[in-house]
Amino acid sequence: MTIGETNTVRQAAEAKASSSKAPEPASDKVQARRELEEAVRTANESGALGPSSELQFAIDKESGKALIRIVDRVTSEVIVQLPSENALRAAEVLKNLKPGDRIA
């Protein structure tokens, strides 16, 4: 997990905490972040995703949704992403529909 990835994990945790009704104490947030970082580090070091793949967490810039990715370490190509780009874009289209709108 790189520093940039750590920042996206922190941003996701902060976004979730700010949207919840009862905010968690700061120490709980820090502990949850550490546990997530350790789990990602363990998964990446174990090779469970393959010798040239790694697990990453990120935030989609357009929707603000949390993303889980498996990325090729050599090429940085995204192998798998949840939710997929298609699902993110479809959700955005559906969110912006008004009564009477048609999907072409």
Q: What is the pLDDT of residues 53-73, one digit of tens each?
A: 999 998 888 888 899 999 999
Q: Give the amino acid at 46.
A: S
pLDDT band at 1 (very low <50, low <70, confident <90, very high): very low
> Mind listing the pLDDT tens digit for each residue in 70-102?
999 999 999 999 999 999 989 988 888 998 888
Hey, where are the domains in the chain? Answer: 3-95
Q: List strand residue ranges (DSSP E) for 1-104, in order.
A: 53-59, 66-72, 78-82
Tokens at residue 16, please?
A: 């979730």
Contact 66, 57 (CB under 8 A): yes
**pLDDT value, residue 6:** 46
